């Protein structure tokens, strides 16, 4: 039916009810508009806030909001909010947090908090002239943005440096101002982009009015100004460590030394094999994204930065490392995390605000530490399962409830099915067969 429809004009001006009705009539079945409406909040004020987050909204798309207790990070105990739809993520993070709680907890180090922005432009001058002109250019753009940066500077942020780069691989006349920023407790995207666009305006004026420029150097065209989500200088490191003798596992027959050996071996595979590294890092991001979303931060930017960081030496590798020294187990994670605890969704989204309250209203560096610990916990839990019981045993037991929901199982059927699969491997076909038996 969709192929027969004409282009629609003015869709964004429709009311939400009109958009739902049009969508249902043109592409869905009878009753679809009612289904979409079921997911609206009863609180009209809250719903207006959510409708303002995006465009052409027709419904909310709920995701489970859970918490993982027992996270000890740098000696402080947290309950960590997590938003995810994937079975076993919160359970795995909680189990790993509890395990390390009695073994010293998670330690973290903020390596750097610098963020980057780029202003790309065409210029008719020669690359050799950059060093002679940069000082004047920096003075002019800084003066032009003084009012924009004053508030951020009062909070400890601001512009940290400007580099003028030549990009001959793009074109002989292609240049870039690479600008370093500190953004205090805000993620800083709007601040960075606003400053960069002001730089672009001043760059055009500089090209036409500066007495330092030769006539042959006045041809300048600004191409674009935008922050970079590649943040190799906004890094947090998290780690756990304890004597191998203290690493008893609640798995029958698993020797701590053998477990540590197999664990290190598995992590080293992910360091060297990109096929394994992608899945390994996806597991890390299961934990990281869940907290990033819960706190109203940009999980897409965090994902992009993390994967770029994983490939920084030209080969995609594990973000985590493991080593064994003098009968001690060491497991650590380093990755970029550009986060904010003020501004944006952190204040607008009611649950994002609640998440930050739950964490004690952390600073941006403290939030970096908590989220890195969550990623390391998730990674530890996944690799521990892989080298002992296998990943599917725990995952499918968590997924069992989703399968039962799909089959519309009654409470009694759920109870019977869980008991039946207590010592059996869970599979979709197996659950279906068992339910058919129970029902007949």
Residues with a known catalytic role: 86, 282, 298, 395
- C-alpha 74/C-alpha 238 separation (Å) is 10
- C-alpha 240/C-alpha 249 separation (Å) is 16
Of 347, 335, 304, the closest CA to residue 52 belongs to 347
Helices (H), 66-221: 89-101, 130-144, 146-154, 189-209
Cα–Cα separations (whole angstroms), residue 150 to 142, 154, 157: 11, 6, 9
* Contact between 332 and 376 (Cβ < 8 Å): yes
Q: Is 252 left (phi over 0), alpha (psi -120 to 50) or beta?
A: beta
Of 107, 14, 166, the closest CA to residue 372 belongs to 107
* Contact between 292 and 339 (Cβ < 8 Å): yes
Distance of CA 143 to the CA centre of its chain: 35
Give the torsion sign (CA, 256, 261, 262, 267): positive
Identify the helix (H) or strand (E) that includes residue 19.
helix 16-27
CB count within 10 Å of CB 299 equals 17
Cα–Cα separations (whole angstroms), residue 435 to 356, 398, 405, 412, 418: 43, 18, 12, 11, 11
User: Within the chain, how many helices (H) and strands (E) appear?
Assistant: 16, 10
């Amino acid at each position: 039916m969709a192929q027969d429809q004409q282009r629609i004009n003015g869709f964004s001006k429709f009311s939400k009810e009109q958009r739902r009705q049009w969508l249902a009539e043109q592409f869905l079945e009878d009753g679809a508009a009612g289904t979409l409406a079921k997911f609206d909040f009863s609180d009209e004020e809250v719903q207006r806030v959510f409708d303002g987050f995006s465009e052409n909204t027709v419904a909310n798309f709920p995701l489970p909001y859970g918490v993982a207790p027992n996270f000890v990070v740098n000696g402080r105990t947290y309950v960590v909010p997590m938003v995810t739809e994937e079975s076993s993520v919160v359970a795995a993070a909680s189990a790993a947090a509890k395990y390390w709680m009695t073994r010293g907890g998670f330690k973290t180090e903020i390596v750097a908090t610098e963020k980057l922005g780029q202003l790309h432009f065409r210029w008719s001058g020669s690359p050799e002239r950059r060093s002679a002109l940069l000082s004047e250019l920096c003075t002019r753009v800084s003066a032009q943005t003084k009012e924009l940066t004053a508030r951020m500077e009062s909070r400890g942020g601001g512009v940290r440096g400007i580099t003028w780069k030549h990009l001959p691989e793009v074109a002989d006349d292609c240049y870039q101002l690479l600008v370093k920023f500190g953004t205090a407790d805000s993620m800083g995207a709007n601040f960075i982009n606003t400053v960069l666009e002001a730089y672009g305006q001043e760059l055009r004026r500089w090209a036409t009015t500066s007495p330092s420029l030769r006539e042959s150097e006045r041809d300048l065209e600004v191409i674009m100004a935008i922050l970079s989500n590649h943040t190799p200088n906004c890094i947090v490191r998290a780690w756990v460590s304890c004597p191998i003798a203290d690493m008893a596992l609640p798995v029958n027959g698993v020797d701590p030394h053998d477990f540590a050996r197999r664990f290190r071996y598995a992590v080293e595979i992910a360091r060297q094999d990109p096929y394994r590294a992608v899945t390994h890092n996806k597991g890390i991001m299961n934990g990281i994204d869940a907290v990033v979303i819960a706190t109203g931060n940009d999980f897409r930017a965090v994902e992009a930065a993390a994967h770029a960081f994983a490939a920084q030496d030209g080969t995609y590798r594990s973000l985590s490392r493991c080593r064994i020294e003098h009968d001690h187990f060491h497991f650590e994670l380093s990755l970029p995390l550009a986060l904010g605890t003020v501004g944006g969704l952190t204040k607008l989204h009611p649950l994002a605000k609640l998440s930050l309250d739950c964490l004690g209203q952390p600073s941006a560096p403290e939030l970096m530490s908590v989220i890195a610990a969550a990623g390391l916990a998730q990674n530890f839990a996944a690799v521990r399962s892989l080298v002992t019981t296998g990943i599917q045993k725990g995952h499918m037991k968590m997924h069992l409830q989703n399968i039962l929901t799909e089959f519309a199982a009654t409470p009694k059927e759920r109870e019977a099915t869980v008991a039946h699969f207590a010592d059996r491997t869970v599979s979709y076909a197996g659950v279906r067969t068992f339910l058919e038996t129970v029902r007949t």
